[in-house]
Amino acid sequence: MPGGKATTVSPSLPRRHRRGLTRSAAACERCRRRKQKCDGRTPTCGACEAVGASCIPSERLVVRPAHPECQCDRLRGQLETLQLQYDTLSQQFEEFRRQAGGEIPLRNSHAPDVSGLSSSGTISVSRRHVCSTTPEELRKQNLLFKSDIPYTGRILRPTFPQRTRVRDTNGSALSSAWRLWGDDTRPIETPLPSTTIPDLDAEAYMNVAGTFFDRRWPYLPVLHRPTFLREHLLPFLSRKASSGISMFLVNIVCAIATAEKPLDQEGSTPSHRVFFHRATQDLHRVIGTGDFECVQCLLLLCMYGHNEPQSVNLWYTSGLALQLAIGIDLHRKESLMGRDVLSAEMVKRVFWCAYVTNCIMAINMSRPLGIQGSDITMPLPLQLTDDELDDSPAALDHASIVPQVSDTSTFIHIIRLRKINADIYNSFHSIGQRRPDAEALESRRKQYFSELNHWVSTAPRYMQTLSTFQSPHWFQIAFHHAVLTLNRPSRAAPMPSYENLRICIEAAIGLISSYSALYAMNRIRYTFVAIHALFMAALTMLYALRASPPLRHELTRPVVQTNILTFLTLFRGISNGRVVGEKCSKIVERLGNCILTLFDDATAASVDVDTEFQSWFGLQSHAFAGSAQSMSVSEMENKSPQYPDARVDIPWSDLFLEGIDIGSTDVWGFLT
């Protein structure tokens, strides 16, 4: 270079192409592969024409017609919905960022705030903290609004998971429900993508929601129907629901309703598992919301879990709901101060729903009750419909003593029953309860029996209802189960009298009749507690016949055989092909065949109860020394002729000593 100086080019000047060089917008495939320039002529470019090669135009130049099955409109609708959600989240993020050094509202509360209705359609229960929020805390708070975070926790674990070497460790502590469902490892369904949404129109969604409020709401009125429709379902149908709580509530309500549909209507809507899978995509939002709303959502999960106990951990979820309710003092009447009628009534309903649900699970799984009745001062809900409650100031003027299918009369009556059930459980079946003397025990039994008779005689009557829980048959089932619980062998009275066993047989036969009537009308669906209650009733009836020879002489072989066959029909009918139904059927069929052989024995009946057999009634680890376990077959064969031989007793021994431990659970008057 002249003068030894390097010539520099200004970086701001644009680079100039060489003169005469043209570039095609889209080279053909051959030119692109050979990395040579292409003049872009069609149908054959100059380079390909020169060598006689086949010229394949680039995809960039091909205009393809629209596919006849194109889903552009649906995708545009989803795009608009996502854009609305993005705009909402952006605004929330900007608000958090502006408040980084100031007051941040946190919705995990213990003290109620009487600010009125909340997004869940009931009341707002929240507490505000003034704190300095760090960027890390803001990041964690912002995670609650992201829809791609799956929930991983104990709520979605099985209620009865498998336990290794359970018989060698804590087998006597498990209830019979655990032994019936503990090995249920049947896969539910192939996992669905997180974006799968049931393809239903607005009318179908409204019908499914109506099924929930007509059939399941009378038993547990967790939601307020008008508010649910206004603030959750209608925005969901118009694709304006940006709240994760609304998405969860709509999908879990649909899941419960589709599981409740009559058998002849299955197939008209997507499976309840489809709705449930979609609801779980928003479950992390439920955990991050206010305590009152969280209690509502957890109770809805429990309602679904009654149909699918291995999809929801019912013990954990029901206990969590009750503890959250107690944590914000919903068990005390003082929490009603300053509230309007709607807010106060929803507080009552939600707390008593949590109490009823937890009571069912505690007694069914032979575990402690979550709260004692003496600790509750919250009054019962008023007998109002949701429409009357929506007219808040005038709601009290509309209160009626005449039961209606749409009011809370059924729920109030169920609460009274659960309180009696809890007292019976504490007095007769609690493992740590001191055993009272015989006279005091008999006095309690008469008192509870009188309360149960008053309860069933005052049960509300309805002219026409779609809910099983409002039918006379359901009230009879609940009554008979409570009577069985009161009179069957228990820790307080492991040796029942002849009269107690006779009452057990009468209650079991009455229960069979009520169940059969519901099944004949297609009004009974599968729930795990219904199958378990039916199983325990069958087992108690067979035990009473086995333990008391006079009772066998009061019945005939055809009558007993008919009752056993009815039990088997119900098991296989309402279980809908589930493994647990067949397992219950085999156990009852095996024990029933053994009982039927006793009617061939013409030996005169003794007035005494077979106490040696009662030591096998699942109570051997609590009240007896296990003499039956050490008894050999030869010793049993040498027993008095009035006792059945070893061929009859061995199946029962296999059941109670190695299988179902009936004494470590409790069966009582419930059907959910």
Lowest mean pLDDT among 21-30, 53-62, 184-193, 361-370: 184-193
Alpha-carbon span 613 to 379, nearest angstrom:
46
Helix runs in 224-313, H state only: 225-228, 234-237, 244-260, 272-280, 283-287, 291-305
Give the tokens for residue 41.
Answer: 């002529």
Give the tokens for residue 23.
Answer: 């570039």
Alpha-carbon span 215 to 260, nearest angstrom:
7
Compute the average pLDDT of residues 480-495.
Answer: 85
Residue with tokens 């061995």: 650
User: What digits encode the pLDDT tens for the residues 371-420?
Assistant: 999 999 999 999 999 988 887 665 565 556 788 999 999 999 999 999 99
Chain centroid to Cα 158, Å, comes to 11
Cβ–Cβ contacts within 10 Å for residue 375, how many?
A: 9
Give the tokens for residue 344.
Answer: 């106060």
Name, of 175-184, 229-238, 254-263, 441-450, the range with top average pLDDT. 441-450
**Percent of the chain scored above 70 by pLDDT?**
66
**Percent of the chain scored above 90 by pLDDT?**
28
Lowest mean pLDDT among 127-141, 278-292, 361-375, 580-594: 127-141
Q: Which residues pair with 105 in a beta bridge?
A: 128
Compute the average pLDDT of residues 613-638.
Answer: 40
What is the model's pLDDT at position 70?
A: 65
Cβ(347)–Cβ(123) below 8 Å: yes
Compute the average pLDDT of residues 73-99.
Answer: 77
Phi, psi of 610 (to 5 degrees): -70, 90
Q: How confident is the model at residue 13 (pLDDT cuts 50, 70, 90)?
A: low
Compute the average pLDDT of residues 596-611.
Answer: 62
Cβ–Cβ contacts within 10 Å for residue 610, how many?
A: 18
Q: How confident is the model at residue 320 (pLDDT cuts 50, 70, 90)?
A: very high
Compute the average pLDDT of residues 431-440.
Answer: 76
User: What is the phi-psi region of residue 40: left when phi exceeds 0, alpha when psi lies from -120 to 50, beta otherwise?
Assistant: left
Compute the average pLDDT of residues 468-477.
Answer: 93
Alpha-carbon span 582 to 67, nearest angstrom:
50
Check whether 100 has a pLDDT greater than 70.
Answer: no
Return the beta strands (E) in 566-667 as ranges: none
Closest CA to 320 of 516, 468, 157, 435: 157
In the Cβ-directed half-sphere of 505, how many Cα atoms lie within 13 Å? Answer: 22
Compute the average pLDDT of residues 216-231.
Answer: 93
Cβ–Cβ contacts within 10 Å for residue 74, how many?
A: 10
Residue with tokens 């009054």: 379
Alpha-carbon span 579 to 525, nearest angstrom:
16
Chain centroid to Cα 547, Å, comes to 37
What is the model's pLDDT at position 591?
A: 82
Phi, psi of 496 (to 5 degrees): -70, 155
Q: How confident is the model at residue 610 (pLDDT cuts 50, 70, 90)?
A: low
Check whether 4 has a pLDDT greater than 50.
Answer: no
Cβ(27)–Cβ(40) below 8 Å: yes
Cβ(352)–Cβ(378) below 8 Å: yes
Q: How confident is the model at residue 69 (pLDDT cuts 50, 70, 90)?
A: low
What is the model's pLDDT at position 476?
A: 94
- Judged by DSSP in three states, 491 sits in coil
Residue of 168 and 273 predicted with greater confidence? 273
H helix or E strand, kind and range, residue 128: strand 127-130
What is the model's pLDDT at position 267?
A: 52
Alpha-carbon span 494 to 133, nearest angstrom:
60
What is the model's pLDDT at position 145?
A: 43
- Cβ within 8 Å of residue 658, ≥6 positions away: 167
Give the tokens for residue 563.
Answer: 């009752």
Lowest mean pLDDT among 76-90, 110-124, 277-291, 457-471: 110-124
What is the model's pLDDT at position 555?
A: 86
Cβ(651)–Cβ(591) below 8 Å: yes
Measured over the CA atoms of residue 364, residue 370, residue 372 and residue 378, the dihedral's sign is negative
Check whether 159 has a pLDDT greater than 50.
Answer: yes
Alpha-carbon span 544 to 533, nearest angstrom:
17
User: What digits encode the pLDDT tens for the residues 226-278?
Assistant: 999 998 998 888 877 667 788 899 999 999 999 876 444 445 556 888 899 88
Compute the average pLDDT of residues 102-131.
Answer: 38
Cβ(563)–Cβ(534) below 8 Å: no
Mean pLDDT of the chain: 75
Cis bond before residue 112 (omega within 30° of 0): no
In the Cβ-directed half-sphere of 472, how many Cα atoms lie within 13 Å? Answer: 9
What is the model's pLDDT at position 113?
A: 39
